[in-house]
Amino acid sequence: MKFSANLGFLWNDRPLPDAIRAAKVAGFDAVECHWPYDIPPQEVKAALDETGLPMLGLNTRRGDVAAGESGLSALPGRQADARRAIDEAMTYATAIGAGNIHVMAGFASGDEAGAVFADNLRYACDAAAAQGIIILIEPLNRHDAPGYFLQTTDQAIGIIKAVGADNLRLMFDCYHVQRTEGDVTTRLHALLPHIGHIQFASVPDRGTPDHGELNYDHLFAAIRDMGWKVPLGAEYKSDKPTDDTLGWLASARDRLA
């Protein structure tokens, strides 16, 4: 079983290139990030080349964060802004060799928002196909992100089927799915053909995966037994320095060897 450090949460007190190096020292197999755009891509690429870690993915910009935005692609009337964000993410991902782009939907609801989201995803998938990049969409739970357009895996699968692009897949975050839907192992089995990336954290506090509602000893083994080969994304929060939270990583490797 392989693991990826999500540097949006882990070592986020360091510049991204230094966080990449820290992830390598800690024994992660890959890295991923949220919004790397303030760091020149050549600096990120240099750290990736130095460590040999692949960058699995990044997110499109959220928009006007001060105004409460968290994604643009399902917002009616904001198609131009959404596509600029998609283009920016595509350019950055290509420059650093990232394999996935998470296109963030934003806070919206209704049929018009769904149609806008589908159109923007078609645009993203068309642009990404030429670069061999996968487009991801991620349901966010209603407790942490009330009003977010994409809230359930069923809704996401409906959109994926409607868009009909081979490079559009589901980001399955075990934390979000458990908080909204539950039955995580069964859903993983059922949705595996549509999944492009899997992330995890404890429930309900979004901490390290060694406590809470989900038994990650069971879940990691189940994912392994499904034949999943892509590193799983550790996207958890902690009030401790990241290096002091990694006991779960050594334990998981020992159990899953």
**Which residues does the annotation mark as catalytic?**
138, 235
**Mind giving me the DSSP string for 99-133?**
-EEE--B-B--SHHHHHHHHHHHHHHHHHHHTTTP
Counting Cα atoms < 13 Å in the Cβ hemisphere of 11 gives: 24
Instruction: Provide the pairing of β-strand 100-102 with 57-59.
Output: parallel
Backbone φ, ψ for residue 95 (5° rounding): -65, -35
Count H helices, E strands: the chain? 9, 8
- Candidates 174, 167, 221; CA nearest to 194 is 167
Helix (H) or strand (E) holding 89: helix 79-96
**Mind giving me the DSSP string for 47-80?**
HHHHHT--B-EEE---S-GGGT--B-TT-TT-HH
